[in-house]
Amino acid sequence: MAVHAHPDDESSKGAASMARYVAEGVNVLVVTCTGGERGDVLNPRLKDDPNIAANIHAVRRAEMDAARAILGVDQAWLGFVDSGLPEGDPLPPLPEGCFALQDVATAARPLVKLMREFRPHVVTTYDEDGGYPHPDHIQCHRISVEAFEAAGDPDRYPEVGEPWQPLKLYYNQTFSKARISALHEAMIERGLQSPYEGWIERWGDRPERQITTRVPCADYFEVRDKALLAHATQIDPDGPWFGVPMDVQRAAWPTEDYELARSLVDTTLPEDDLFTGVQETVGV
């Protein structure tokens, strides 16, 4: 189970890993917390289309359907309203009723229900900083941790199904400084213009998260990119997301990376598989 804040997040964080596991016969469910209604139209070709602005909720759902089909995953909506990304100084208040303002225990209830119905062994989501400090990403982290801890407890949320305890919880760490630096240096070595020069300059003293698990999935990078392009309003097809040739990506950084946050099974770090220790415990 991969828990994400908005439609498109699943395609930019862990998509190649999911596609690999689907190909290996694993059942994968993407949980999307909000409808992405307040996301900006980032594709310059669509930015001024009045039909998109008037029907953004339906557009984002259709994009999610297309990406889901490309990845081969199942997908469920939690039904919360996008909080938007507040900008300015001072920051404006979040809109009333949005996802980030929900009580964590209340917002986690539908996720607990999904965990008990789908019965995942592994859950992925964001770290406590949200990967970046979007209020919906931070709230996604909070309810994911709450649901992971509560789903197996018969005394918590007894109204939403029989208890089920997931065995491992991971945080996506796709955008580590190590990965960005490796891709940047590979481009420079080949005499190509790197789309990441600005990223490196802005990194500053921000601490690195621990990467415990690197999942080899380079064979599925093209599937990942197709799924991301399916979110046409959210991605510029000529932008930096696609500025590194596929052969360079596969050579410089052929994995998607995670931080193991909780484990109820024995494992040895570092790992190369999200299911390390799970097979031995449950016999799959």
Model confidence pLDDT, tens digit, residues 177-212: 999 999 999 999 999 999 998 888 888 777 889 999
Is the residue at 199 inside a domain?
A: no
Q: Give 90-141 pLDDT, tens digit per residue.
A: 889 999 999 999 999 999 999 999 999 999 999 999 999 998 889 999 999 9
Q: Over 171-188, what HEC string results? A: EECCCCHHHHHHHHHHHH
Q: Are the CB atoms for 63 and 39 separated by under 8 Å?
A: no
Degrees (nearest 5) of the Cα angle 101, 105, 110? 95
Q: By residue range, what is the domain housing residue 46?
A: 2-176+210-282
Considering only CA atoms, which of 206, 235, 6 is closest in space to residue 100?
A: 6
Q: What's the whole-number mean pLDDT along residues 220-226?
A: 98
Q: Tell me: is residue 4 an annotated ligand-binding position.
A: no
How confident is the model over 62-69, as a mean pLDDT?
98
In a domain, 246, yes or no: yes
Yes or no: say if 4 and 13 are a contact pair by the CB < 8 Å rule. Answer: yes
The stretch 219-223 carries a mean pLDDT of 98
In a domain, 190, yes or no: no
40 in a domain, yes or no? yes
Give me the residue label for tokens 């990967």.
Answer: 131
Percent of the chain with pLDDT strictly greater than 70: 99
Query: Is residue 195 assigned to a domain?
Result: no
Pairwise CA distance, residues 18 & 68, whole Å = 11
Q: What is the pTM of this model?
A: 0.96
In a domain, 185, yes or no: no
206: CB partners within 8 A, 6+ apart? 177
82 labeled part of a ligand binding site: no
Chain mean pLDDT for the chain: 95
Q: Answer whether residue 34 is part of any domain.
A: yes
Domain total in the chain: 1
- pLDDT band with cut points at 50, 70 and 90 for residue 284: low
CATH number of the CATH domain containing 171? 3.40.50.10320
The residue ranking higher by pLDDT, 25 or 199, is 25
Distance CA 152, CA 116 (A): 8
- CB count within 10 Å of CB 89 equals 4
How far is residue 35 CA from its own chain's centroid?
14
Query: Does the residue 186 lie in any domain?
Result: no
Q: What is the distance between the alpha carbons of residues 39 and 223, in angstroms, rounded to a whole number?
A: 23
